């Protein structure tokens, strides 16, 4: 279990405001840095962290996810008041996965370690830079450009 990854998931009972503040400070960003990276007004970030913003629009959500290096699903879940299930970790078989499609649900099961079809160890991070995989609608790692599926 990767502790960095675990600490980046919303804690149970954590509010959106607390969550954003926690991740921002973990990354050593000021509110201004975050606003700049996420393409938001400094005031909007302040409002968010004071809990004055209950709902995020899609643009804010994706800006924040990118700036805070989080899967957008985490922000989506927490702003809707849902817990992030450990099953939200994206894992896939590098041989059986077809790029651009959703992973088989059984691959993302918290205890699944091997592909049920071919027995290969499942991947949950980029083979080149080790960044966690944010979405399998991406074919390539957004950080280093490596294809998720080996050719």
Can you state the angle between helices 58-67 and 31-38, rounded to 10 degrees? 120
Q: Which of residues 6-45 bind Zn ion (CB under 5 A)?
A: none
Distance of alpha carbon 96 from alpha carbon 73, whole angstroms: 24
Kindly state whether residue 112 participates in binding Zn ion, applying the rule CB under 5 A: no
Taking the least distance from each CB to Zn ion, the nearer of 54 and 118 is 118
Interaction of residue 106 with Zn ion, rule CB under 5 A: no
The reply to whether 141 sits near Zn ion by the rule CB under 5 A is yes
For the window 43-82, what string marks contact with Zn ion as x by the rule CB under 5 A?
Answer: ----------------------------------------
Which stretch in 9-17, 48-56, 84-92, 110-118 sits in contact with Zn ion by CB under 5 A? 110-118
- Rounded to whole angstroms, what are the CA distances from 4 to 8, 26, 72? 6, 10, 17
Among residues 112, 113, 110, 140, which one has the least CA distance to residue 127? 140
Residue nearer to Zn ion on the CB measure, 4 or 55: 4
Q: Residue ranges of the alpha helices (H) in the chain?
A: 3-7, 16-26, 31-38, 42-49, 58-67, 72-79
Q: Which residue ranges make up the site for Zn ion (CB under 5 A)? A: 93, 95-96, 115, 117-118, 120, 126, 128-129, 131, 141, 143-144, 146
């Amino acid at each position: 279990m990767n502790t960095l990854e675990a600490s980046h998931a919303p804690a149970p009972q954590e509010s959106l405001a607390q969550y954003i503040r926690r991740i921002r400070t973990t990354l050593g960003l000021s509110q201004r840095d975050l606003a700049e990276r996420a393409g938001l007004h400094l005031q909007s970030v302040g409002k968010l962290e004071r809990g004055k913003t209950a709902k995020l629009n899609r643009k804010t959500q994706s800006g924040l996810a990118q700036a805070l290096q989080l899967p957008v699903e985490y922000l989506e879940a927490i702003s809707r008041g849902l817990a992030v299930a450990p099953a939200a970790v994206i894992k896939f078989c590098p041989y059986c996965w077809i790029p651009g499609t959703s992973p088989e649900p059984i691959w993302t099961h918290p205890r699944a370690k091997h592909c049920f079809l071919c027995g290969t160890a499942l991947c949950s991070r980029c083979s080149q830079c080790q960044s966690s995989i944010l979405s399998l609608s991406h074919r390539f790692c957004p950080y280093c450009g490596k294809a998720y599926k080996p050719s």
